[in-house]
Chains A and B, each alone.
Chain A
């Protein structure tokens, strides 16, 4: 495949954004239209450079980092936690979580009650104050292209589907569900205490039976049964 660099007029900004972990969606009209018009060329070029460009049909582009399977960074965990919390919070309020997270919006004024309600969970993600929530979660969401902020209103963008997919995959994770639903601890094998002093019962005789002896014993047993 020949790549015509002249056609890739937005190469530099596109690369810069994707490289920073940003998700390009329709909101970035110029970059998005370039990517969707020259999708194959961009993919081939980035692939040659060692970057995998993912074109999600739900309307966004991003780079998969090289170290697949490597440790997930704290930000991803934090943002996933925030998504779970938002979904549950909205569902509890009788609102439609998908309508909010798939193109809907959330006011900044809704964050403090959220922080109060899920204080214990946010604490695990090292988020304790409203400032920290905005800095570590909301700002990251906007930096990575998952949301945009305008006058205290956060609008969620199509890349949020990546986190909704996490919800779906968790839902399908039977091991996780099973480990949660059983209150009992996982069965652990019971080990014999070597120093207990109890004699270990030998299963087989120390003397090995020869084939002839075994045959003779079997015949004798048979005769006993017949008798």
Chain B
């Protein structure tokens, strides 16, 4: 047997060397060479003999143990590793199945307790109660450990590099959720194994208390009451751990899920647009907002003028064609098509002044029509344009002041 005092003293003395090693051992086992290198780096003044002596001591005290079937590889003794992890508040998340196994054992112990009482075996009863109490403490310890481990999972996800893909960042969160939280929810649910197990054990203990009153005491009531209280404590702790796990991980899980949904949605939308054009995205999904252009009429003077014009509005007299009159005495000109105008404009290049050209082309054209053609032609991508100074132009009805364009040459080759 190894003297616990010597182990504890070694741990205390070599803590500065052991702590960094813990991190390395968290990742896996270490070869003898790696171990020596690590220790040499931390003991710059130490000779190789010192390092060998140190390793020998750790091996003697079972702090280090050789890995089975790999004589030159070592790992920290699992018990020591757990103890150090506890001290460093670094916990590895256990399995939900472990808790379930503990519970099954608790139920079995409750059965033995009942049998010991039925047999009026006081010693066995006390032993089984002690075992039950220790097992409940195991569950409590495990729940506390798991809670710390969950905090670690959430912290790692939150603090990891924002530049790495979310899938990687939240991989641990998602795995923890699936492998620990989800089964825990099932376990701690009202009809789950945890509640039912606790209920059965509780019933046995309460019946025992009642029976002791009736048949006489085999064990101290205090022992029964303490065990009962501890079981209730375990039940509350399990629920709290679960609640904490959900609080910690649910937002992260939702974030990861939302991220996946957003990325998938965007990819889907782009695929649809590639195949079917911009209108492929369901119109109903798109946000509606007012156009950014101003919808205001303008200054107060403009509003006044507008209202003034409205008040004095007189409709133009409608002239209906006479049935008897000759038709088409003055043949109406078919409206110009954009293609026709563009061709004419293109043929007339270069145009020193677009508006002057338009007025020459359409001397009788209405002002609004001329302005339409001006806007349409000046914006067309096949022309290269240069803005001119603002000046006045006279149409048949109006005087228009605008900055015209000089259309220089065709920007694109014509088809």
Residues of A within 8 A of B (CB): 19-23, 62-65, 67-69, 71-73, 75-77, 80-81, 83-85, 87-88, 91, 94-99, 120-121, 124-125, 140, 143-144, 162-173, 176-177, 179-180
Surface stretch bound by A, among B57-65, B280-288, B385-393: B280-288
Contacting pair B286 A167 (CB below 8 A):
no
Nearest CB of chain B from residue A87's CB, rounded to whole Å: 4
Contact flag A166-B273 (CB < 8 Å), given A96-B163, A97-B259, A140-B292? no
Interface size, chain B (Cβ < 8 Å):
43
> What B residues does A172 contact at CB under 8 A?
261, 265
Q: In the complex, which residues 217-275 of chain B have their Cβ closer than 8 Å to any Cβ of chain A?
A: 255, 258-259, 261-275
| CB closest chain-A residue, reference B280 | A176
Residue pair A120, B282 in contact (C-beta under 8 Å): no
Residue B164 is within 8 A (CB to CB) of chain A in the complex: yes
When C-beta atoms are compared, the residue in chain A nearest to B271 turns out to be A180
Q: Are B287 and A164 in contact (CB under 8 A)?
A: no
Q: Which residues of B, 264-316, contact A by the 8 Å Cβ criterion?
A: 264-275, 277-295
For residue B264, which residues in chain A have a CB less than 8 angstroms away from its CB?
Answer: 171
CB-based contact B262/A164 at 8 Å: yes
- Nearest residue in B to A89 (C-beta to C-beta)? B266
Given A96-B163, A164-B262, CB of A72 within 8 Å of CB of B283: yes
Among A67, A73, A96, A167, point to the contact of B266 (Cβ < 8 A): A167
* Chain B residue at smallest Cβ distance from A164: B262
List residues of chain B with CB within 8 A of the CB of A99: 162
Q: At the interface, yes or no: B165 with Cβ under 8 Å from chain A? A: yes
- Alpha-carbon distance between A94 and B284 when the two chains are bound, in angstroms: 30
B345 part of interface (Cβ distance < 8 Å):
no
B289 touches A168 (CB 8 A): no
Chain A residues whose C-beta falls within 8 Å of the C-beta of B185 in the assembled complex = none
Please give 6 more A-B residue pairs, beta carbons under 8 A apart, in addition to A80-B281, A87-B265: A71-B283, A96-B169, A99-B162, A120-B274, A125-B278, A176-B280
A85 to B278 alpha-carbon distance, docked (Å): 13
- B109 interface residue per 8 A CB criterion: no
Interface contact A85-B270, CB-CB below 8 Å: yes
- Please, how many angstroms separate the alpha-carbon atoms of A73 and B292 in the complex? 11
Q: Can you name the residue of chain B whose Cβ is closest to the Cβ of A163?
A: B287
A166 lies within 8 A of B287 (CB): yes
Q: Is the CB of A167 within 8 A of B289?
A: no
A-B pairs with beta carbons under 8 Å apart, 26 shown: A20-B292, A20-B293, A20-B295, A21-B291, A23-B289, A64-B288, A65-B290, A69-B284, A80-B281, A80-B287, A81-B273, A88-B270, A94-B163, A95-B165, A96-B259, A98-B258, A121-B270, A121-B273, A166-B281, A167-B262, A168-B262, A170-B266, A170-B269, A170-B272, A176-B272, A176-B280
Residues of chain B lying within 8 A (CB to CB) of residue A65:
288-290
Contacts of B293 in A (CB 8 A): 20
Known: A171-B262, A180-B275. Contact between A76 and B289, CB under 8 A?
A: yes
Q: How far is the CB of A193 from chain B (nearest CB, A)?
A: 30
Residues A166 and B289 in contact, CB atoms below 8 Å apart: no
Chain A residues with CB under 8 A of B55? none
Contacts of A121 in B (CB 8 A): 270, 273-274
Cα–Cα, bound, A95→B284 (Å): 29
Q: Which residues of A contact B166 (CB under 8 A)?
A: 96, 98
Q: Is the interface of B mostly helix, strand, loop or mixed?
A: helix
Taking CB atoms, residues of chain B closer than 8 Å to A168 are 258, 261-262, 265
Give the distance to chain B from A200, nearest Cβ to Cβ, in Å: 37
Q: How many angstroms between the C-alpha atoms of A21 and B278 in the bound complex?
A: 22
Q: In the complex, A72 Cα to B288 Cα: how many Å?
A: 7
Contact status B290-A167, CB under 8 Å: no
Expressed in whole angstroms, the minimum distance between the Cβ of A127 and any Cβ of chain B is: 11
**Known contacts A76-B287, A121-B273; is-contact A170 B165 (Cβ 8 Å):** no
**Whole-angstrom distance between the alpha carbons of A63 and B292 in the complex?**
12
Is the pair A21, B269 in contact by a Cβ cutoff of 8 Å? Answer: no
Residues on A with beta carbons closer than 8 Å to the beta carbon of B287: 76, 80, 162-163, 165-166
A120 to B291, CA, bound (A): 26
B164, B270, B288: the one within 8 Å of A68 (CB): B288
Question: Smallest distance from the beta carbon of A16 to chain B beta carbons, Å?
Answer: 8
Q: From residue A224, how far is it (CB to closest CB) to chain B in Å?
A: 60
CA–CA, A95 and B295, complex, Å: 40
Are B291 and A73 in contact, CB atoms less than 8 angstroms apart?
Answer: yes
Inter-chain contact A170/B278, CB cutoff 8 Å: no
Q: How far in angstroms is the closest Cβ of chain B from A210?
A: 56
Sorted nearest first, the 5 A-B pairs with minimum C-beta distance are A171-B265, A167-B265, A87-B266, A21-B290, A162-B287
Task: State in angstroms the CA–CA spacing of A65 and B286 once bound together.
Answer: 13
**Known: A162-B287, A180-B272. Is A170-B265 also a contact (CB below 8 A)?**
yes
Question: Which of A75, A88, A144, A163 is within 8 Å of B267, CB to CB?
Answer: A88
Cα A143 to Cα B290 in complex, Å, equals 11
Most buried by A among B163, B278, B294, B295: B278
Residues of B within 8 A of A170 (CB): 265-266, 268-269, 272, 281-282, 285
For A142, the closest partner residue in chain B by CB is B292
Set of chain A residues within 8 Å of B268, measured between Cβ atoms: 170-171, 173, 176-177, 180
Interface string of B103-123 (1 = CB under 8 A from A): 000000000000000000000
What residues on B are CB-neighbors of A63 within 8 Å? 289-290
Q: Is the CB of B291 within 8 A of A75?
A: yes
Q: In the assembled complex, how far is the CB of residue B117 from the closest CB belonging to chain A, in whole angstroms? A: 59
Report the bound CA distance from A73 to B277 in whole Å: 15
Q: Say whether, besides A167-B265, A170-B268, A176-B268, A77 and B286 are in contact (CB < 8 Å).
A: yes
Q: How far is the CA of A68 from the CA of B279 in the complex (A)?
A: 17
Known: A21-B289, A68-B288, A143-B292. A97 touches B263 (CB 8 A): yes
Residue of A nearest to B279 (CB): A77
Which residues of B131-179 are within 8 A (CB) of A? 162-166, 169
